[in-house]
Chain A
């Protein structure tokens, strides 16, 4: 087969020239003895919508609208803005995100869940109890402890998480340390409570290190190498 417009040979049984789209003609090819290497019929890969980008847009738009309402109707009191701005990430992290992502995100899921939940709890505490103290002194340390325990148990029961957990637990420990430092400057906050998640983080890392020193060491090296 040939395309006489492009002056090229084309594959057997090709009705239109792949270059110009003109009808091909049944003529002896110039290059003889070449057999077509066929491809299968193309199957299209489904492209997922940009869920993360859409989520950020929804969050930004809702927060902006609430902020404008707060400025105009609530005389600049931005409590509702903060509530919306912290509630949407929580709803997304706990309800929407798990529907379209795989379990490989597990570690990062928990870290971001803790951050979003802590922010939401702080804002809600300020709104309901008119003080951030209940959240800062009791609830957030509790959330950190629960998250660390999730990592500990997932390490024990899921083989592949055994060496994956320590970097995440260390990150949670760093969050606990930061929260402890922040709460030190908040009047009346029980900053020393953060010693519990800190100690737990240390305990988990030590336990996993003892169980499998080489793997934990290598995982930490991999995750934190510069």
Chain B
């Protein structure tokens, strides 16, 4: 229970709280306040979560040496001042959720839960971020309302850089890593969606529903990650042969692996959602959410034996079109426009919560089969890379997408990670066997050492 105190102490504390709040730089609108509005993309995630799952992801590195937890906490304390939008917790207002700024920074913990396990949001005074370490691994897990992968990747660079400095390594300041000592700027804390919002008419979210992958044996408090480590040159060669980008190639392999897993003719689109970091394209540096996605896929139209090349021909070009500048502005206009709708704006949160939950299902989750996010080649300074073995990106699932894929590359290897809530790994099996058949060298690592499932044995 919260501590009690004398009256005289209380008045002293008021001043303490005031000085703590005013010393934290924040948005112009709430410079001296203890709260922040959610950015446009963040509003959906509290409604999307349920009792067991929430929208979270992890970005991590595997170092060449074991991690010191105390030093990691010290490094995190240092960089927290640069990222005040991470030191928040979700709260419920009358009309919208908002972020309350928190004082707690004890987010570093030795890993003991499965990756992307559920966060304690709303009813906690600790930020919904977790910095986990175990042996050589450091990973930041974040509830998606706080930030997206592009942002967390920058934070991870800052954290690892500071950690290595504290460890005594000679790490120089670099343009590739945000300087934690420079106070946060307004643009780093801004909702970039609002900046790029242009009112448009005739926008539609109409899109056909997609095939939903429903594996057997989904467990409620369980997640297993499979990492596939592959040389970039191998994938690059295959993508080049087919005249597509690496993201497109991996997307098609994923779609194909899902397709061959369906043992009946279907007349439904198989689609995957591909998010895109908008920062480089729209020249933004916000630490909050600033990414959008496009759904790409194909309809087998009851054909049972489509080849990989046929799938590729159907999907080719969709990613480019979906994430064209015109479409990006349309999506921003549609999303921001919805939040400006007076009916939605002034609807009490209790009702809005239910409306958003339904909207997420109808206009979101049922429109795609799964997600594949590719962070691309993460650019790290050479002096830090010397201490890093590999990079990792893991995307947490959601109630309907039982499995998600995420990839990141250090330039030499691509680490393609799949997180699923079941032991049934048929799609990954199809995918990596296919890649291996094409001559890609693949190394598989799993968060749960051995595959203990009888389901997997049956499927051999």
Contacts and interface: CB of A to CB of B under 8 A. Distances in A.
B354 interface: no
A50 B220 CA distance: 13
Given A19-B425, A47-B51, A223-B93, A11 B445 contact: yes
B453 to A, nearest CB: 7
A10 B18 CA distance: 55
Contacts of B448: 18, 39, 42
Given A9-B444, A16-B451, A29-B443, A222 B35 contact: yes
Nearest to B459: A20
B355 interface: no
Interface string A162-183: 1100010000000000000000
Contact of A35 (B17, B51, B91, B389): B389
A223 B443 CA distance: 50
Contacts of B249: none
Contacts of B35: 218-219, 221-222
Contacts of A18: 226, 425, 444-446, 448, 450-451
A17 interface: yes
A161 to B, nearest CB: 8
A103 B124 CA distance: 10
Contacts of A42: 113-114, 222, 447-448
Contacts of A50: 51
B216 interface: no
A39 B32 contact: no
Contacts of A10: 443-445
Contacts of B94: 167, 223-224
A12 to B, nearest CB: 10
Contacts of A207: none
A8 B93 contact: no
B429 A157 contact: no
Interface string A9-33: 1110111111111100000011100
Given A19-B226, A19-B429, A19-B451, A3 B18 contact: no
Contacts of B413: 34
Interface stretch (A75-83, A132-140, A208-216): A208-216
A37 B444 contact: no
A38 B345 contact: no
B123 A104 contact: yes
B33 interface: yes
A8 B432 contact: yes
A38 B10 contact: no
A185 interface: no
Contacts of A167: 94
Interface residues on B, range: 35 or more
A159 B432 contact: no
A160 B135 contact: no
B460 A11 contact: no
A40 B34 contact: no
Interface in B76-134: 91, 93-96, 98, 100, 110-115, 117-118, 122-125, 134
B441 A30 contact: yes
B4 interface: yes
Contacts of B2: 103, 158-161
Given A37-B136, A218-B33, A226-B96, A8 B443 contact: yes
B437 A7 contact: yes
Nearest to A8: B442
B450 A222 contact: no
A158 B441 CA distance: 60
A72 interface: no
A157 B3 CA distance: 8
Interface in B1-53: 1-5, 7, 10-11, 13-14, 17-18, 21, 30, 32-35, 37, 51-52
Most buried by B among A36, A211, A222: A222
B433 A34 contact: no
A20 B425 CA distance: 7
A82 B18 CA distance: 48
Nearest to B33: A218
B450 A15 contact: yes
Contacts of B429: 6, 19-20
Contact of A45 (B221, B228, B229, B441): B221
Nearest to A223: B93
A46 B221 contact: yes
Nearest to A36: B445
Most buried by A among B32, B94, B117: B94
Nearest to A33: B389
A219 to B, nearest CB: 8
B450 A14 contact: yes
A223 to B, nearest CB: 5
A6 B345 contact: no
A146 interface: no
A45 B113 contact: yes
Given A222-B93, A225-B98, A20 B456 contact: yes
B62 interface: yes
Contacts of A219: 34-35
Interface in B111-167: 111-115, 117-118, 122-125, 134-137
A6 B228 CA distance: 12
A226 B345 contact: yes
Given A14-B449, A44-B113, A218-B33, 10 more contacts: A8-B433, A11-B445, A18-B446, A20-B459, A31-B442, A34-B390, A157-B5, A159-B10, A163-B17, A226-B345
Interface of B: 1-5, 7, 10-11, 13-14, 17-18, 21, 30, 32-35, 37, 51-52, 62, 91, 93-96, 98, 100, 110-115, 117-118, 122-125, 134-137, 220-222, 225-226, 228-229, 231, 345-346, 389-390, 392, 413, 425, 428-429, 432-433, 436-437, 441-453, 456-457, 459-460
21 contacts: A8-B436, A8-B444, A9-B443, A10-B443, A10-B444, A14-B450, A18-B450, A31-B443, A36-B445, A37-B62, A47-B221, A156-B7, A157-B4, A162-B14, A215-B21, A219-B34, A222-B33, A222-B100, A226-B95, A226-B96, A226-B346
The 3 closest A-B pairs by CB, nearest first: A21-B456, A18-B446, A222-B35
